[in-house]
Amino acid sequence: MAAKVYFADTRASVKQNLLDKLQRLYERSGIKDIVAPNDLVAIKVHFGERGNTAYIRPQFVRRVVDKVKEKGGKPFLTDANTLYVGSRSNAVDHLQTAIENGWGYSVINAPLIIADGLTGKEYTNVPVNLKHFKEVKIGSAALHADAFIAISHLKGHELTGYGGALKNIGMGLGSRSGKQMMHSDVRPTISSEKCTGCSKCHKWCPGQAIAVGEDKKSFILEEHCIGCGECTVSCPFNAIEVSWKTESHIIQEKIAEYTLGVLKHYQGKCGFITFVNNISPECDCCGWNDAPIVRDIGILASLDPVALDQACIDLINQEHGLPGSRLEGQPHGSDKFRALWPHVDWRRGLEYAESIGLGTRQYELIKI
């Protein structure tokens, strides 16, 4: 059965601006009905890496916050720390970057809570029993709420082809070690040159797979290593390097499994909004953003994240590549994200998400 996806284009007038259109989407899509009085409402956003300007404008999210409060809900904005070393890899830097990017309380009217805590250790193991994971590590704050709204920015991505609602939720709310498990199929190794013998990695290894050699340096017992990634994100000296070695179709499937880990907690209490504007070639995790590949298209909303991602991509593919962008000359109807990243088949993530029950790729597009 086709899911309903609601769409508002970027046209505005003295009678109706884009904030008003977003409010209508919120109401027409049924997202307003998931909030009850006194509900703690987690609103998942991406605060943008320092130097990136393609992320969603905070003023749009403020309108959603206000609508949640009208129903008596108690909203908070959340995201989890990043795996890579940037401006959002711990809660202090993450919050500082968010405020610098305009996500202050005076703008948003809601608090910011980093889902996996100060250094990425505050997570909950959620059973999923799927192809890649038996359980997934989700930032705990994202699971302690009563309702959930994901507000995503559709853009390109070098590993998954595109990033939309599924990636915003699955990769976004995985703990730091969970992100390592999604990104890599390779067991970690310890650099004896960088290791100081502090033993901090021992404390966080659940498999007791780290030992100390005669040189007082740590090393990994491969036969005991479960590949959880905890040591990678625990070492303060970067002696256990992050591994990014995986295949595109595998990371897409893993992201879908993590998304399921989040959403199974919120059955009937989750909604999704995606902005198809400033459609940059790479993720908002980059400290820059290249020129948009197609024109601004609009905002979409649905109760089905799979249908929502599919509808966004279909609308983008109907466009011509913008002059001066990396897709200049790309015709109407061409696969824009395959043109950007020829080695990535972005469809795999949606196919797998549909197969594990996250939603359907069949949708009815309803323009407001």
Is residue 228 predicted with pLDDT exceeding 80? no
Residue range of the domain that includes 333 = 3-182+246-367
Is residue 362 predicted with pLDDT exceeding 60? yes
User: Locate tokens 């086709």: which residue?
Assistant: 2
- Residue 227, domain CATH: 3.30.70.20
Predicted confidence at residue 304, as pLDDT, reads 98
**What one-letter code names the amino acid at 326?**
R
Higher pLDDT, 172 or 236: 172
**Structure-block tokens of residue 259:** 């998304």
If you average pLDDT over every residue of the chain, what do you get? 93
- Residue 165, domain CATH: 3.40.50.11440
Predicted confidence at residue 183, as pLDDT, reads 83
Higher pLDDT, 192 or 117: 117
Is residue 204 predicted with pLDDT exceeding 90? no
Q: Which of 219, 241, 263 is the last residue of a domain?
A: 241
**What one-letter code names the amino acid at 330?**
Q
Predicted confidence at residue 84, as pLDDT, reads 73
Q: Does residue 94 sit in the same domain as residue 26? A: yes
Domain count, the chain: 2
Radius of gyration of the chain (CA): 20
Q: Does residue 136 sit in the same domain as residue 205? A: no
Residue 242 pLDDT level (bands cut at 50, 70, 90) = low
177 close to 284: Cβ distance less than 8 angstroms: no
Q: Which of 204, 220, 241 is the last residue of a domain?
A: 241
Lowest-confidence range among 75-89, 107-121, 262-276? 75-89
Question: Residue 233: is it exposed, middle or buried by C-beta count within 10 angstroms (0-12/13-18/19+)?
Answer: buried
Measured from the Cβ of residue 215, the count of other Cβ atoms closer than 10 Å reads: 10
Using H for helix, E for strand and C for coil, what is the string for the chain? CCEEEEEEECCCECCECHHHHHHHHHHHCCHHHHCCCCCEEEEECCCCCCCCCCCCCHHHHHHHHHHHHHCCCEEEEEECCCCCCCCCCCHHHHHHHHHHCCCCHHHHCCCEEECCCCCCCCEEEEECCCCCCCEEEEEHHHCCCCEEEEEEECEEECCCEEECHHHHHHHHHECHHHHHHHHCCCCCCCCCCCCCCCCHHHHHCCCCCEEECCCCCEEECCCCCCCCCHHHHHCCCCCCCCCCCCCHHHHHHHHHHHHHHHHHHHCCCEEEEEEECCCCCCCCCCCCCCCCCCCCCEEEEECCHHHHHHHHHHHHHCCCCCCCCCCCCCCCCCCHHHHHCCCCCCHHHHHHHHHCCCCCCCEEEEEC
Q: Does residue 32 sit in the same domain as residue 167? A: yes
- Mean pLDDT confidence for 58-67: 98
User: Locate tokens 């990396």: which residue?
Assistant: 326
Q: Does residue 167 sit in the same domain as residue 104? A: yes
Is residue 208 predicted with pLDDT exceeding 60? yes
Q: Does residue 352 sit in the same domain as residue 205? A: no
Q: Does residue 236 sit in the same domain as residue 255? A: no
**Structure-block tokens of residue 115:** 């889902």
Q: Does residue 44 sit in the same domain as residue 153? A: yes
pTM of the model: 0.88
Give the closest residue to 97 by CA, choosing from 86, 105, 88, 89: 88
Residue 56 pLDDT level (bands cut at 50, 70, 90) = very high
Q: Does residue 152 sit in the same domain as residue 207? A: no
Predicted confidence at residue 340, as pLDDT, reads 95
Lowest-confidence range among 28-32, 84-88, 257-261? 84-88
Residue 257 pLDDT level (bands cut at 50, 70, 90) = very high
**Going by C-beta distance under 8 Å and a sequence separation of 6 or more, which residues neighbour residue 130?**
257, 260, 356
Q: Does residue 170 sit in the same domain as residue 317? A: yes
Q: In degrees, to the nearest 5, what angle opens at C-alpha 137 toward C-alphas 135 and 142?
A: 120
Q: Does residue 225 sit in the same domain as residue 98? A: no
pLDDT tens for 297-355 read: 999 999 999 999 999 999 999 999 999 999 999 999 999 999 999 999 999 999 999 99
Q: Does residue 228 sit in the same domain as residue 327? A: no
**Going by C-beta distance under 8 Å and a sequence separation of 6 or more, which residues neighbour residue 12?**
18, 21
Q: Does residue 202 sit in the same domain as residue 292? A: no
Predicted confidence at residue 243, as pLDDT, reads 56
pLDDT tens for 111-135 read: 999 999 999 999 999 999 999 999 9
